[in-house]
């Protein structure tokens, strides 16, 4: 076959591997399956021509190879143009690279058919075109790797942003849930310190608050008074009119007490059964006595209707106060003194207020 035949054989071998370039340059099988299939067919055709070349004349081999190369060039350039038109920028490098390769092939074919004179440039046109092609394809692959890296970074950034958004949303939901839980716990705690029937504070609240109130009075060197009161003959009301009537009486007395305490440190608590406590921080014994008489008069004026009769009520009150040195005695002495005064008021005939000694 001669030196030109050897060059033609090298040309066929180089061309046989070139259909792989689109697959490496822009993943042609995934992006353009039809073009990829056509390129594979062209590769098999060129393989067949290469295998058949020893059995045909050199002229026929050159003609077949030239035709197949031009067909392959058209297919590759068409695939590259299609990818470029669809916005895949690395295909630009492939098109430019193959343009140099095709130019070298055309020059060599023209020399083979005697259309161009034979010289160093035309004789080695394929080698020049192939060298430039390899350089440009390398640049294209590098650019594709850069795009893939940028896409991965963008995907990571988007994933991070989505994760941060979800974390912020979950954090916000957690804060809202914690706020709702705190509100619910506060309400539950407040509910646990209230008497369910009358709505005033209960014995637990009194136990938690009284010691603190006495301690504050001691620090401020201010007096503190406590009224303990009991509804007179309450058992007889329950026995005569029923427990629902007794509940109405308890609520009515609690309303009177609640309406006559000052906003701030004063409070009313149900001590147990029909007994109530009114704590009056800052009140002296005389202040407590005056306010106790007001409460007694208000309760005596009540009329409870709706149980087949008009029910009237009276209360007995015991008053104790801590002033000066007595403040060091503590809350227990205040409760015991008020309870003893209440017992004396009931023993002396009820519907009265008795002050502790």
Burial class (CB in 10 A: 0-12, 13-18, 19+), 104: buried
pLDDT of residue 16: 41
Cite the active site residues.
274
Query: What is the tens place of the pLDDT at every residue in 149-205?
Result: 988 999 999 999 999 999 999 999 999 999 999 999 988 888 889 999 999 999 999
pLDDT at 13: 41
Q: Which of the residue ranges 3-7, 62-66, 105-109, 288-292 has the most confident prediction, judged by mean pLDDT?
A: 288-292
Is a pLDDT exceeding 60 seen at residue 1?
no
* Angle made by CA atoms 288, 202, 278, in degrees to the nearest 5: 5
**What's the rounded mean pLDDT across residues 244-256?**
96
Which of 33-37, 106-110, 339-343 shows the lowest mean pLDDT across its residues?
33-37
Q: Between 27 and 348, where is the model more confident?
A: 348
> How much is the average pLDDT of 223-240?
95
pTM, two decimal places: 0.56
Query: How far is the C-alpha of 112 from the C-alpha of 59, rounded, in Å?
Result: 9
pLDDT tens digits along 73-92: 777 777 767 766 776 666 66
The distance of Cα 331 from the centroid of its chain, to the nearest Å, equals 49
Buried b (16+ CB within 10 A) or exposed e, 70-85: eebbebbeebbebbbe
Would the pLDDT of 348 be above 80? yes
Top-confidence residue, 35 or 144: 144
* Interatomic CA distance for residues 351 and 357, integer angstroms: 19
Q: Do 319 and 341 touch, CB atoms closer than 8 A? A: yes
Residue 287: what pLDDT?
95
Q: For the segment 196-229, what is each residue's pLDDT rounded down to a tens digit?
A: 999 999 999 999 899 999 999 988 889 999 999 9
Residue 330, Ramachandran bin (φ over 0: left; ψ between -120 and 50: alpha; else beta): left
- Rounded to a whole number of angstroms, the CA Rg of the chain reads 53
- C-alpha 123, offset from chain centre: 71
Map out the domains of the chain with their CATH numbers. 2-158 (no CATH), 203-355 (3.30.70.270)
Q: What is the CB-side half-sphere exposure of residue 265 using CA atoms within 13 A?
A: 19
User: Which pLDDT value is given to residue 113?
Assistant: 67
The model's pLDDT over 21-73, given as tens digits with 9 standing for 90+, comes to 444 344 544 456 666 677 677 777 777 777 777 777 776 776 777 677 767 77
In the predicted structure, residue 97 carries a pLDDT above the cut 60 = yes
Alpha helices in the chain (DSSP H): 2-17, 20-26, 28-31, 33-52, 58-85, 91-112, 120-123, 125-192, 203-220, 234-241, 243-259, 285-300, 331-347
- Written as six digits, the tokens of 247 are 């509940």
Q: Which of 31, 113, 32 is nearest to 70 (CA)?
A: 113
pLDDT band, very low/low/confident/very high, at 351 (cuts 50, 70, 90)? very high
User: CA-CA-CA-CA torsion for 210, 330, 254, 340, nearest 10 degrees?
Assistant: 160
> Average pLDDT, whole number, for the chain?
82
Task: Work out the pLDDT band at 259, boundaries 50, 70, 90.
Answer: very high
pLDDT at 122: 73
């Amino acid at each position: 076959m001669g030196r030109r035949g050897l060059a033609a054989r090298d040309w066929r071998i180089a061309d046989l591997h070139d259909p792989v370039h689109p697959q490496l340059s822009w993943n042609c099988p995934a992006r353009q399956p039809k073009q990829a299939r056509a390129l594979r067919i062209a590769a098999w055709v060129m393989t067949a021509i290469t295998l058949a070349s020893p059995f045909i004349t050199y002229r026929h081999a050159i003609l077949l190879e030239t035709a197949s190369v031009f067909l392959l060039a058209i297919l590759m350039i068409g695939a590259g143009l299609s990818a470029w038109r669809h916005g895949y920028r690395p295909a630009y490098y492939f098109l430019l690279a193959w343009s140099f390769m095709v130019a070298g092939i055309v020059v060599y074919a023209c020399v083979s058919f005697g259309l161009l004179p034979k010289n160093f440039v035309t004789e080695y046109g394929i080698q020049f075109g192939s060298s430039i092609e390899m350089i440009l394809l390398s640049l294209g692959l590098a650019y594709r790797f850069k795009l893939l890296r940028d896409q991965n970074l963008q995907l990571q950034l988007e994933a991070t942003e989505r994760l941060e958004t979800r974390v912020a949303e979950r954090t916000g939901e957690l804060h809202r849930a914690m706020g709702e839980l705190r509100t619910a716990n506060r309400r539950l705690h407040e509910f646990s310190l209230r008497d369910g029937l009358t709505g005033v504070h209960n014995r637990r609240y009194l136990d938690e608050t009284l010691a603190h109130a006495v301690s504050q009075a001691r620090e401020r060197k201010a007096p503190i008074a406590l009224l303990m009161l009991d509804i007179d003959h309450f058992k007889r009301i329950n026995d005569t009119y029923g427990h629902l009537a007794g509940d109405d009486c308890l609520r009515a007395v609690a309303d009177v007490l609640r309406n006559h305490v000052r906003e701030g440190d004063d409070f009313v608590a149900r001590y147990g059964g029909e007994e109530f406590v009114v704590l009056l921080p800052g009140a002296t014994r005389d202040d407590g006595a005056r306010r106790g008489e007001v409460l007694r008069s208000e309760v005596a004026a009540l009329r409870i209707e709706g149980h087949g009769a008009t029910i009237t009520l009276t209360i007995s009150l015991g008053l104790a106060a801590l002033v000066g040195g007595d403040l060091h005695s503590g809350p227990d002495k205040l409760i015991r003194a008020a309870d003893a005064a209440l017992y004396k008021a009931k023993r002396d005939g009820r519907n009265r207020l008795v002050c502790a000694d």
